[in-house]
Every structure is written in C-alpha cells, then in structure tokens.
C-alpha cells in the first residue's frame, strides 16, 4: 500500500503547489518567480485571444516571457490537457487514388523558393510565385516545370513578395509563356531581379494591377482564389511578414498559399483563420513561422514544404516538421519528392508527385 500513498501524495502536491497556466488568475500567476503584473496580464491576454496553452513551451510566444523564465518555471507550472480541445479534423476530406478533377494545384519543385501552379479545369490558370532565377545562362527551374506540365498560357500571374526566391523566375516566365494579367502586391523594393521582371511586364500587352486584401478571383464556376492578405505599401517593409496570402477553394477543398509570412503576421491572421486541407507551409519550414494558435486554427490535413535540396538554410527545420506531425498533417516536401500535384473535384482529393526531369542546382 505504500506505493499507493506515494502516488496520491504526489497528485496532492501537484494540485496544491503547481500552477495550471490555462486557468490561473493574474493574481495566482504573480506568485510565480519572474512573473509580475505585466507578464501575468500578457499570459491571460494570450489565453483569451488564442485559446489554452497546449504545452509549457508555448509560453515563449507570450510577450516578455523568455526561455530562461520558462526553464525557471518548469517545475512550478503545468498544462491541464483535459481543458485542451482535441484537434478539429471535421473539415478533412477523403483522399483517393484517382478522380475527375475540377482543380489541379501543383507545388512546383523549383529549388530553394516557391512556385505554385493553380489550374481550374475548364477555367483559368494562376501562377503564384516563380522561384529563383538560374544564376546563369539556363532558364530558371519554373520554366522547365511549367513545360513539364504542358502549360502555354497563364491567365493570372501573381506573387507573394519580391524576394529573389519568389520572383527570380518570373521575368523568364513572361518571356516564355503567354501571360494575360499580372497581380503585384505593390511593395517598394529595389533589386535588379524585381526590376527585370517589371521591365518584362512592360514589354508585353498584359494587364497589370495590384493585389488587394479581400479581392476574389473567379478561376471557374467551381474555383475561387481569395486574397486573404495583400502586401503593405510602407517603406522599410519586412517583406516576409507582408507576403500576400491566397486561399484557393473548390467545394470542400481548400489550399492556403502563404509566401514567407512569419510570427507577427500569423498572430494578426489567427482570429480570422479558417481550417484548410492543404497548407503551403510558410517560409519553407522556417522556425520563424510556427505560431502555434495559427497552425491549430488552420489544422491542415496536408502540409507541403517547398525547399531546395540540401539548402544552406536548413529548411525545413526538423522541429517544424515535428510540429506539423503532431497536428496529424501528412508531410510532403518538394526537396525530397519533387513537384507535388494535388487534384480535387471539391469532395475528395488525390496526391501524386513528379520528380524533376532535370536536376536543379540550388544557388540560393
């Protein structure tokens, strides 16, 4: 019977001495070392805005709480997981081997960068981002990938932000394919790669306009693309944080194209975030882009990482991959699987991969 007494005593000590950070009042939180009125208020505000903490380490996203403070508190606090709601997977849909698609989304293998081709069957084609340039006489990878998919006309060309790994291939796209319309997030940014793209736009007769938050593009009667967030116009922008975000929908299927948004943007987007089937993981799987409440709100059935083989940034970061695994997301990666092709009729979806016909050298 002694062991029973020890177990009961341990639970008694836990309930009396440890603080449940999901229910503790500001006054109770202030009894903890290093937690004063401001930090306790920030903890409660975080809970109110974003829901309960899933684990103690999530305190690092609360303003004023450092990793050192968390280490000091680890033996004094706990998370009552009974108060944490189970992951919402009600929006997930069946994955099948084949179907007659109304929408095809190809997350292109372009090396260390992003390029996503959205094809509404019987409707319009949208290219979002264009990956890096080839840094030499060869055409950039996006051109080869589009040719592999038998693309000749792009109805709408848009991009998230003007960093080289997102717009580097777009000037070549303009020169090699028929582009009918260009949508620019309108961020002030000086780079010869971006200028080369803008010059290539001027040398065609395609229409040109700016992305706007809330803009809806009707790609077909069944497929829409909504601009969840558009880039800012201020000077000295953090281009990653201001990446334009697009949500593509077809019936019960959805995919979110996130550019390189990071924690601050994710905080802003969390209150209005909608669940998604396929998420193009922000910023190639960087640690800067894993705000937990945002990811829980999206709760993607599939997480697609777009990154270059053996890239010097270490993308995607192993911890980020593990975070998505804990959500239950299926993990797909362009650096190991090539182009990821998702097809849907709006009720079910299928996934296939297309390995590159040529090897891509990652310069960035």
pLDDT tens across 118-156, in order? 999 999 999 999 999 987 678 999 999 999 999 999 999
Residue 224, beta-bridge partner list: 218, 249
Please report which confidence band the pLDDT of residue 10 belongs to, taking 50, 70 and 90 as the band edges: very low
Closest residue by Cα to residue 260 from 289, 283, 228? 283
Q: Looking at residues 235-249, what average pLDDT do you find?
A: 89
Residue 85, beta-bridge partner list: none
Strand blocks (E) in the chain: 19-20, 77-78, 103-107, 116-120, 125-128, 153-154, 156-158, 178-179, 181-184, 207-210, 216-218, 223-229, 245-250, 253-257, 278-280, 302-305, 330-333, 339-344, 349-354
CATH numbers and ranges of domains, the chain: 2-83 (1.10.150.320), 103-354 (3.60.15.10)
On whether the CB atoms of residues 118 and 103 are closer than 8 A, the answer is yes
Q: Looking at residues 65-84, what average pLDDT do you find?
A: 89
pLDDT tens across 168-184, in order? 999 999 999 999 999 99
Q: Is the pLDDT of residue 236 over 90?
A: no
pTM: 0.90
């Amino acid at each position: 019977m002694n062991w029973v007494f020890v177990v009961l005593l341990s639970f008694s000590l836990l309930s009396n001495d440890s603080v449940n950070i999901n229910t503790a009042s500001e006054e109770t939180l202030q009894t903890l070392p290093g937690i004063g009125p401001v930090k306790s208020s920030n903890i409660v505000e975080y809970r109110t805005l974003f829901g309960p903490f899933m684990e103690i380490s999530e305190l690092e996203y609360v303003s004023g709480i450092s990793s050192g403070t968390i280490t000091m508190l680890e033996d004094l606090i706990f998370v009552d997981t009974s108060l944490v709601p189970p992951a919402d997977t009600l929006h997930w849909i069946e994955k099948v081997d084949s179907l007659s698609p109304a929408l095809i989304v190809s997350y292109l293998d372009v090396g260390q960068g992003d390029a996503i081709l959205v094809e509404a069957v019987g409707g319009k084609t949208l290219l979002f981002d264009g990956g890096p340039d080839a840094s030499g006489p060869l055409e950039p990878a996006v051109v080869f990938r589009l040719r592999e998919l038998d693309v000749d006309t792009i109805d709408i060309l848009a991009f998230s932000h003007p960093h080289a790994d997102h717009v580097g291939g777009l000037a070549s796209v303009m020169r090699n394919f028929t582009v009918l319309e260009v949508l620019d997030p309108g961020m002030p940014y000086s780079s010869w790669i971006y200028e080369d793209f803008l010059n290539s736009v001027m040398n065609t007769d395609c229409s040109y306009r700016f992305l706007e938050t809330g803009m809806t593009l009707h790609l077909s009667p069944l497929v829409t693309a909504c601009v969840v967030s558009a880039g800012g116009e201020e000077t000295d922008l953090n281009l990653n944080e201001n990446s334009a975000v697009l949500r593509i929908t077809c019936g019960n299927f959805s995919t979110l194209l996130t550019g390189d948004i990071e924690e601050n943007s994710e905080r802003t987007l969390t209150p209005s975030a909608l669940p998604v089937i396929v998420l193009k993981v922000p910023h190639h799987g960087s640690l800067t882009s894993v705000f937990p409440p945002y990811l829980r709100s999206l709760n993607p059935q599939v997480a697609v990482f777009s990154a270059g083989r053996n890239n010097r940034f270490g993308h995607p970061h192993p911890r980020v991959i593990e975070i998505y695994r804990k959500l239950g997301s299926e993990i797909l990666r362009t650096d190991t699987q090539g182009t990821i092709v998702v097809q849907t009729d709006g009720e079910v979806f299928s996934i296939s991969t297309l390995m590159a016909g040529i090897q891509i050298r990652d310069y960035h």
